[in-house]
Amino acid sequence: MTYQQILDKVIKTFDGEIMVPNQWRVDGSNGKRYTVNWDKYHRQYSCTCLGYTYRRKCRHITELSNSFALKKGVSNVKNI
């Protein structure tokens, strides 16, 4: 699978938009848009939604992370 095919699949599956490398704009359940960032130095995600602000976990990060893990064939994907 080519890089572009992977990007297209992630966008279609996750219903998000890649803004810049390591940053995605995603739709929330209430119609708002949030930004998910990947910090490659600390190897962690962050999100602009309130769930992440208060709990440091959110479904936007979980869904995005799981979609990448499934592309690599990782079978022990967990939900938060």
Residue 19 near residue 35, CB atoms below 8 Å: yes
Contacts of 32 by beta carbon, 8 Å cutoff, 6+ apart: 49
The answer to the question of residue 47 being in a domain is: yes
Domain presence at residue 20:
yes
Residue 80, domain member (yes or no): no
In a domain, 79, yes or no: no
- How many domains, the chain? 1
Residue 75 lies in a domain: no
- Predicted pLDDT of residue 47: 95
Domain range enclosing 21: 3-70
| Contact indicator for 52, 37 with CB cutoff of 8 Å | no
Please indicate, yes or no, if residue 77 is contained in any of the structural domains.
Answer: no
Q: pLDDT tens digits, residue range 16-75?
A: 555 677 888 888 888 888 999 988 888 889 999 999 999 999 999 988 888 877 666 655
Report the pLDDT value the prediction gives residue 73, as an integer from 0 to 100: 62
pLDDT at position 14: 61
Residue 78 or residue 8, greater confidence? 8
